[in-house]
């Protein structure tokens, strides 16, 4: 569920499950009994049982937790190995543009500079910083051995609602489902006009590779692909959508009710 919509007080288990498994414990702490379907409360020593996530005092899930959910789901559905660097995930992306990507969330300038040293001079490694305001990282001169790869993406989330949709006239739809991951495409008879991928881990769905070919844009195909993938992911048990959006994508997702949570800034190492 959208973190903003965490109710201020829920007392009954049925309500908790209905509302998306959030619980206000004695009005002081909020825990999320995620995916276990049972109520969990912090122990007297204020430790949280496995599977629970502490929310911030104002009731929001921390930005770090939200992004780590995205990393976990992304790595799971693509079967990517994840290591740790200074406490942040280093994902073995094995993609055409990069071998590895470090993901960090507003780590502070000193920690950022340590991570930057890891990526510096490695043209196959990306370092992506997420945050509400990235001026602290973006404004000073770039650490040596790095270049800015992308500064136009944003991190977005939504509470998923299935919306049945008809295949647009003149297109053939096809699905390629591989475990918890599905690719949906629309073909115009000659080539793929639009497609997208969604992967589900527990109640989280990550959307990826949403694309409409240039000649077919602004005719509702992107909206249709997102509806089809959303309905499939909800059928798999997903309730929250998470994604990294390009500028074009952010326009589409905002029109579908997604909310921008964080800015993103991606650096690549520069070879010597
Ligand atoms: C983003 C993309 C998939 C949108 O596909 P599309 O088929 O053109 O989208 P739709 O026609 O279904 O758009 C539905 C609504 O979303 C919004 N929207 C879509 N693209 C938009 C854009 N580039 N800018 C602002 N709003 C946009 C509009 O409100 C639009 O309704 P309207 O055309 O009546 O104004 C397409 O522009 C694309 O492939 N871009 C390049 C790849 C990319 O960036 N993909 C996203 C990766 S996160």
pLDDT band at 44 (very low <50, low <70, confident <90, very high): very low
Which CATH entry fits the domain spanning 161-238: 3.40.250.10, 3.40.630.30, 3.40.1500.10, 3.30.565.10? 3.40.630.30
Ligand 1 geometric centre to CA of 248 (Å): 6
Each residue's pLDDT tens digit, 232-254:
999 999 999 999 999 999 999 99
Per-residue pLDDT for 25 more than 50? Answer: no
CA of 253 to the centre of ligand 1 (A): 8
Lowest mean pLDDT among 53-62, 74-83, 146-155: 53-62
**pLDDT: is 154 or 78 the higher one?**
154
pLDDT computed for residue 263 by the predictor: 97
Which pLDDT does position 142 carry in this prediction?
A: 96
For 65-112, the pLDDT digits (tens) are: 899 999 999 999 899 999 999 999 999 999 999 999 999 999 999 999
Q: How close is the Cα of 20 to the center of ligand 1, in Å? A: 30
Query: Looking at ligand 1, which atom is closest to the CA of residue 247?
Result: 44
| Atom from ligand 1 closest to the CA of residue 224 | 12
pLDDT tens-place string over residues 197-234: 999 999 999 999 999 999 999 999 999 999 999 999 99
137, 113 Cβ separation under 8 angstroms: no
Calculate how far, in angstroms, residue 255's C-alpha sits from the geometric centre of ligand 1: 9
pLDDT of residue 164: 85
**Domain boundaries defined on the chain:** 3-54, 63-151+264-269, 161-238
Ligand 1-lining residues (CB < 6 angstroms): 194, 210-212, 217-223, 245-246, 248-249, 251-252, 255
pLDDT given at position 49: 39
Long-range residue pairs from 64-71, CB within 8 A, at least 24 positions apart, any chain: 64/105, 64/106, 66/3, 66/155, 66/157, 66/242, 66/261, 66/262, 67/103, 67/105, 67/130, 67/155, 67/262, 68/105, 69/204, 69/240, 69/242, 70/155, 70/204, 70/206, 70/242, 70/243, 70/244, 71/103
Closest Cα to atom 34 of ligand 1 = 218
Question: Are the CB atoms for 15 and 1 separated by under 8 Å?
Answer: no
Percent of the chain with pLDDT over 70: 78
Nearest CA owner, ligand 1 atom 39: 211
pLDDT of residue 163: 86
State yes or no: pLDDT of 170 exceeds 50: yes
Answer whether residue 125 shows pLDDT above 60: yes
pLDDT of 38 strictly over 90: no
CATH number at 63-151+264-269: 3.40.1350
Q: 101-126 burial, b if ≥16 CB within 10 A, otherwise e? A: bbbbbbbeeeebeebbebbbebeebb
- Take atom 24 of ligand 1 and give the residue whose Cα is closest: 251
Compute the distance from residue 214 Cα to the ligand 1 centre, in Å.
10
With a cut of 90, say whether residue 4 has pLDDT above it.
Answer: no
Q: Which helix (H) or strand (E) holds 250?
A: helix 247-255
Distance 131 CA to ligand 1 centre (A): 24
pLDDT at 60: 52
Q: Is the pLDDT of residue 195 over 60?
A: yes
- Closest CA to ligand 1's atom 27: 251
pLDDT(167) > 50: yes
- pLDDT surpasses 90 at 53: no
Q: Whose CA is nearest to atom 7 of ligand 1?
A: 222
For residue 224, how far is its CA from the centre of ligand 1 (angstroms)?
11
Q: Is the pLDDT of residue 157 over 90?
A: yes
Predicted pLDDT of residue 50: 40
Q: Which pTM value belongs to this model?
A: 0.83
Which of 158, 192, 222, 256, when mutated, tests ligand 1's pocket best, judged by the most ligand atoms within 8 Å of its CB?
222
């Amino acid at each position: 569920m959208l973190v903003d919509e965490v109710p201020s007080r829920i007392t009954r288990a049925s309500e908790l499950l209905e509302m998306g498994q959030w619980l206000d414990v004695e009005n002081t702490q909020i825990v999320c009994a995620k995916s276990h379907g049972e109520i969990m409360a912090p122990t007297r020593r204020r430790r949280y049982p496995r599977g629970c996530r502490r929310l911030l005092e104002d009731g929001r899930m921390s930005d770090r937790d939200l992004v780590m959910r995205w990393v976990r789901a992304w790595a799971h559905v693509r079967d990517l190995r994840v290591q740790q660097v200074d406490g942040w995930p280093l994902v073995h992306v094995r993609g055409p543009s990069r071998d590895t990507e470090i993901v960090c969330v507003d780590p502070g300038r000193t920690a950022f500079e340590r991570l930057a040293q890891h990526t510096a001079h490695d043209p196959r490694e990306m370092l992506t910083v997420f945050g509400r305001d990235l001026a602290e990282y973006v404004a000073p001169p770039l650490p040596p051995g790095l270049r800015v790869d992308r500064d136009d993406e944003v991190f977005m989330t939504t509470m998923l609602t299935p919306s049945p949709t008809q295949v647009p006239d003149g297109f053939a739809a096809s699905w390629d489902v591989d475990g918890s991951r599905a690719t949906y495409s629309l073909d115009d008879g000659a080539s793929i006009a639009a497609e997208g991928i969604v992967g589900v881990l527990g109640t989280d769905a990550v959307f990826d590779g949403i694309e409409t070919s240039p000649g077919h844009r602004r005719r509702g195909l992107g909206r249709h692909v997102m509806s089809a993938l959303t309905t499939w992911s909800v059928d798999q048990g997903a309730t929250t959508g998470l994604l990294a959006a390009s500028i074009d994508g952010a326009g589409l997702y905002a029109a579908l009710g997604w909310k921008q949570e964080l800015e993103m800034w991606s650096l690549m190492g520069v070879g010597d």
